[in-house]
Structure 1
């Protein structure tokens, strides 16, 4: 009798372990396997930090890159360097069983050589975000119904923002600057896809890549009707050749976002719908109305 109970318990444990085991493919096209959901996570990309929390797993985060700042509960966690150049020693010191990082970040191979599991994910489009949400849910042991619900809410919010624009806004030419280098958001980025849903024309074609570094003279030649940029770009704009003569600047059709708004706008994460609303509000203001 006791032996049968022991066998039954062993079978239960085995089945539970198999049910928790999962293998996913990351954005390096590497297969990453997990025998169980990770309990100590280091996230080195703000959009991934936000997605982990949106899936209800914030409590598992033990360290972050210096830019992750949402939700507010993560701001007290240890900072482990930049997202692209993390401090490997500090990361290892947190004893993570999973490190989340961008494909463009350095250090993945070194961390793996030290026996640390790395999952590289870098969402740049709407489809990317949906896939990343589903992948993280699998890895974290979150029910598929929850990840599907999260994506539905994000997508519905983006569509609602797009549909809120006044009819006269359609067809406006827009330039969105994501950093003052300057880097812009092209048609192939998640920001560009949102602009397309709004019926707006992005001056940066998708064949430049999602977030290309651009020649400032390109914007002068394109003559956008509206410019969206973060506060960090404000000072440099008028220093660029020909920009002071842009009609969009002379007519004050520039939406300048504060730091918190810029963070929301440029991250392909669970706040993407909020970013879409910021863009819609900017466009509506330029038309003299509110969405």
Structure 2
């Protein structure tokens, strides 16, 4: 009995096995215990943390993280260009999750913080990032979220009628003619729904497109956010585009835009939004 109690006490005293996390920049961070104070500086990462049941561990987020609703009560730490490093340091996080494109990762590390840079752009990325964040959080079976996403996207695809399949789509993700390319997670969703994409894969995930390119491509359907939709038909030559002539333009509200633009747990909802657009516009 004495030997058993000694072994039990040793087991309690020993720290959990350390986990080495290699992020998307190739930097390795050692996590010695499940972090209890987390800062997330990218909305898709914020949503992933919450979906994995660790929302209560968040102590600060970027200005664009707004889902789920409980994160709106957390301190706002700026965006990519104006991250408030001093406030992050004051929050004393165990780990900071940042975008690959963030400019503050090295500065945060220099201050002694553990930083993990992740930025999913494709379906494969999302699945991988789920696993990585699950490891950071110490959450088993993070892939359950991926299985839910896959099932939801498949259900959305089954709702698209045959006459809408193959329709050629131009998806403008941001003003200035930034498009959703075939190899982006948005483009992959379109493909899974059976739609075409006027953006060839060699242009990358989110290329900036010349207006004339869209005119020549002549998409049958346009997907665009509310802000960018103003004056669409007045763009030079765009009145000749079939989608505009036939009124096949889906304008997404700001809330829908958030869901559509975040590669994370709500991708099944994004697929449903796109599928509804295809049903209502492309099959008419």
* Common topology (TM > 0.5): yes
Give the alignment's TM-score, normalised by structure 1. 0.93
SS at 1:228 equivalent? strand
Partner of 1:283: 278
SS at 1:232 equivalent? coil
Task: Spell out, residue by residue over 1:83-127, the C-alpha distance to the aligned partner (whole angstroms, 9 max, x if none).
Answer: 454121122121111111110111100000000111011011111
In 2, are the aligned partners of 1:184 and 1:211 still within 8 Å (CA)?
Answer: yes
Partner of 2:158: 163
C-alpha deviation, 1:2, in angstroms: 7.0
What pairs with 1:173-192 in structure 2 (closer than 5 Å)? Answer: 173-192=168-187
Match of 1:18 among 5, 16, 19: 16
SS at 2:230 equivalent? helix
What pairs with 1:67-78 in structure 2 (closer than 5 Å)? Answer: 67-78=64-75
C-alpha deviation, 1:241, in angstroms: 2.2
In structure 2, distance between residues paired with 1:227 and 1:85: 33
Output the aligned Cα RMSD. Answer: 1.7
What pairs with 1:244-263 in structure 2 (closer than 5 Å)? Answer: 244-263=239-258
**Structure 1: which 5+ residue stretches go unaligned?**
none
Partner of 2:9: 9
C-alpha deviation, 1:207, in angstroms: 1.5
Partner of 2:49: 52
SS at 1:175 equivalent? strand
Partner of 2:214: 219
SS at 1:99 equivalent? strand
In 2, are the aligned partners of 1:170 and 1:198 still within 8 Å (CA)?
Answer: yes
Match of 2:85 among 78, 85, 88: 88
SS at 1:33 equivalent? strand
What pairs with 1:33-44 in structure 2 (closer than 5 Å)? Answer: 33-44=30-41
Give the alignment's TM-score, normalised by structure 2. 0.95
C-alpha deviation, 1:244, in angstroms: 3.0
